[in-house]
A and B are shown apart, each in its own frame.
Chain A
Amino acid sequence: MHKLISVAVLSAMSFLATASGGSPFNLTTGVTDISHRVYDLHMTILYICIAIGVVVFGVMFYAIIKHRKSKGATAAQFHESTKVEIIWTIIPFVILVTMAIPATSTLIEMEDNSQSDITIKITASQWKWHYQYFEHDFGFFSLLSTPSEQISNQAQKSENYLLEVDKPLVIPTGKKVRFLITADDVIHSWWVPAFAVKQDANPGFINEAWTRVNEPGIYRGQCAELCGKNHGFMPIVVKVLPQNEYDAWLKEQLAQVEVAKQAETKALASTLTYEESMTLGKQVYLARCAMCHQPNGQGIPGAFPPIKNSPMALNDKQAHIDIVLHGKAGTAMQAFSNQLTAKEIATVITYERNAWGNDTKDVIQVSEIINREVK
């Protein structure tokens, strides 16, 4: 019987070993030198544990089968042996030391953040990531892009359900990329399994991690620290490009920043109509506001306040603009001034002041947003 068990365990071991990589059963080997070392360490310790298990359980099951009363076994009298106790204290200790040596060297290498080529500041907030390219003063938010119809089972789920974002982080291959990680509200954790990087984002504090990716590709991860209601809905996508493609991408992004600035100036000059505002405002609302305030504007009692019939949405226009622009301290209500364009903010406020029977007939213009911001 114990032979049977060891055969089963051995075949399980070989199965695990061959099934590495994209296996649904095992840790990913990943795409960095560190992630390979982490994987090897994981497998080493797993094998040691399995070997110990086979020996200990083998002995136990041997006793269970051979030393049973129904087979006429009578109990022996021994119940103490200092020698044996010392042996089975020392042997595990030696095994532990052999585990600790590679673990220590891997850890020291993982924690060496020096001599990086690129620095990216990652700021987490409920429930999105912001990536800032430190050297270029350029950054963007990255949000879940899975449509809510898929989550509520009204539409077919796509291949990368819950693991897709509107704008992935882009980094080049072969460069040491250093991440500075912090949070605006609660604790989050930035985790990409393929890089073997998981680092908590603590509000008010800054943490470091780094990676050097060998292969181009798209790598996906998730927030790994409970951060409130939509903790399960803030994925991470990293697109790793060869250096020349990365350079081209970066150039294009910086050009787009200029274009966006010009569009902002143009929007300031134009006048928004009610219909136009309601259409665009609804889109923005459903994408950015509805997860808390709900599509029907009624919020969740005790957690997220309603907008429908709220005094602020019905009367106090300035307070309404301020809270959307700057957020509210100590709540999930964030400052949207740097997340949305002035036009988007104007239209979403118009939408909130007119939808669900709020009917104030207010139409907020871009100039009101800009003026409020730089008064």
Chain B
Amino acid sequence: MNTATTTPEQHGAEHHDHKPKGLMRWVLTTNHKDIGSLYLGFSFLMFLIGGAMAMVIRAELYQPGLQIVEPNFFNQMTTVHGLIMVFGAVMPAFTGLANWLIPMMIGAPDMALPRMNNWSFWILPMAFSILLASLFMEGGGPNFGWTFYAPLSTTYSPDSTALFVFAVHIMGISSILGAINVVVTIVNMRAPGMTYMKMPLFVWTWLITAFLLIAVMPVLAATVTMVLTDKYFGTSFFAAAGGGDPVLFQHIFWFFGHPEVYIMILPSFGIISAIIPTFSRKKLFGYSSMVYATASIALLSFLVWAHHMFTTGMPVAAELFFMYCTMLISVPTGVKVFNWVATMWRGSLTFEVPMLFAIAFIVLFTIGGFSGLMLAITPVDFQYHDTYFVVAHFHYVLVTGAIFSIMAAAYYWLPKWTGHMYHEGLGKLHFWASLISVNILFFPMHFLGLAGMPRRVPDYALQFADFNQLVSIGGFAFGLSQLIFLVVVIKCARGGKPAPAKPWEGAEGLEWEMPSPAPYHSHTTPPIVK
């Protein structure tokens, strides 16, 4: 791939840089880079708020007995921590990366629908203000877990449930608008010659993610609407008294919820597939099989939802079906891991911070995948279900999976975004501090779960005390380590060694053909893709 030799930055400076200054620039912006930065900044803020809630949880669980918070508030913390991390931290971070990178990667000047782009970001802070405000209402905020199982979330929920429902609706609309924009951009705005099978994998995985979002976020909207009408308008979708069924809630929720899990990991696969080849100085092994694997994971994700519900009393035949389908997902996921390892094999490897995070991703995400495979086996899932084993599993997949990939992406593209190199020493410190603390935080949770500690409890029996203390210490250390990242980003934004157009020797892709920092308007003339 190569660009035609034009000077887009001169064009940009002369004709198009009439952006408003100050706050209004950010409120009114329709520029994909500004909106990408807004998304990324917002998601980091949410990461800190959700993280603070995790600190409250871990502080309470530091030793047996009730010390800091009462159980009802503890439940609000676990609930809102989950909601914020899923809808406020991970998903907006991926949308931010998509905004920044997709137009640059496919040779488009901007996203296809810039005004809608502005809206899809700016309704997010509204949603989370509502959600956080509900914590201060009389009776407290949502306390029924992020999965909001009925009837705990309907008949037995606090008065603030309406706010929770509206907040989730707004988050859903924001994600849907973002997904529409991504699909339209990728389908219609590719530069001449940028065929589908030439697109970088990050673009591919996001295209598939966007379709998943379009398919399942409306189902989430329907679910919360039913919760709302059950609670306030006397319908009985999930109440046995009126002919409903509480288990139906779980079917509908997980029909959304399982694809949602893949929404939070597919873009990671794209990021890792960009970083590993760069620092191996070798082309990605099996590009097309990566595309097919991603697509088959996405399709299978619609057939496995009930593996979250093995203990609800399903017939054996249904349990077997969902067990087999779930096990099947590990095949395409395995193919991805094998391809990454094959890419590194006989490469010429260097270990800058993005590569370190990417390698940690492969190892730790795979561990999360192994525990996922164990959870898929129905008879043993009866023992693992709703214990800390599950908590360990999904934190390995989401923290050392999704969040580590986001960190890797941030370090990898920061030079392109800011025009400066980040501080390599601080970055390495951040990596090692995170890697060690995250394993102290989450690995012992496997043991806790196997030994029989249920999740979502504010207090526990004495035999769980030692591991919980260790886990809490790991938690505080991991929380503090993320402040190093904040320092790295601020330092990098304010200055540092100027970054060349292509700071990484082995990098490939249209974004590296642009100067660093990338000009305000990307590809004002379409690049020629070879």
Contacts and interface: CB of A to CB of B under 8 A. Distances in A.
Q: Does A touch B (CB under 8 Å) in the complex?
A: yes
A149 to B, nearest CB: 10
Contacts of A103: 323, 377-380
Given A79-B284, A203-B151, A225-B386, A63 B64 contact: no
A67 B349 CA distance: 6
B380 A42 contact: yes
B222 interface: no
B359 interface: yes
B156 A330 contact: yes
B9 interface: no
Interface stretch (B210-218, B339-347, B423-431, B482-490): B339-347
A108 B239 CA distance: 30
Interface stretch (B15-23, B25-33, B257-265, B275-283): B275-283
B513 interface: no
Interface string B273-304: 00000001111111111000000000000000
B65 A151 contact: yes
Interface string A258-302: 000000000000000000000000000000000000000000111
A88 B324 CA distance: 19
Nearest to A91: B334
Contacts of A233: 71, 459
Contacts of A69: 281, 348-350
Contact of B331 (A25, A96, A187): A96
Interface residues of A, number: 98
A359 interface: no
A80 to B, nearest CB: 6
Contacts of A77: 282-283
B219 interface: no
A76 interface: yes
Contacts of A10: none
Contacts of A70: 350
B456 A226 contact: yes
A204 B246 contact: yes
Interface string B122-146: 0000000000000001111001110
Interface residues of B, number: 99
B140 A303 contact: yes
B24 interface: no
Contact of B383 (A89, A92, A196): A196
A38 B246 contact: no
Given A103-B323, A204-B245, 4 more contacts: A73-B346, A111-B316, A185-B155, A226-B456
Interface of B: 64-67, 70-72, 75, 137-140, 143-145, 149, 151-152, 155-156, 158-159, 239-241, 245-247, 280-289, 311-313, 316, 319-320, 323-324, 327-328, 330-331, 334-335, 337-338, 341-351, 359, 362-363, 366-367, 370, 373-374, 377-380, 382-383, 385-387, 447, 450-452, 454-463, 466-467, 506
Interface of A: 23-28, 37-38, 41-42, 45-46, 49, 52-53, 56-57, 59-60, 63-64, 67-70, 73-81, 84-85, 88-89, 92-93, 96, 99-100, 103-104, 106-108, 110-111, 126, 150-153, 157, 159-163, 185-187, 189, 191, 193, 196-200, 202-205, 207-208, 221-233, 300-303, 330-332
15 contacts: A25-B451, A68-B351, A69-B281, A76-B282, A89-B331, A110-B382, A157-B64, A160-B461, A161-B461, A198-B382, A205-B247, A222-B454, A229-B143, A302-B159, A303-B72
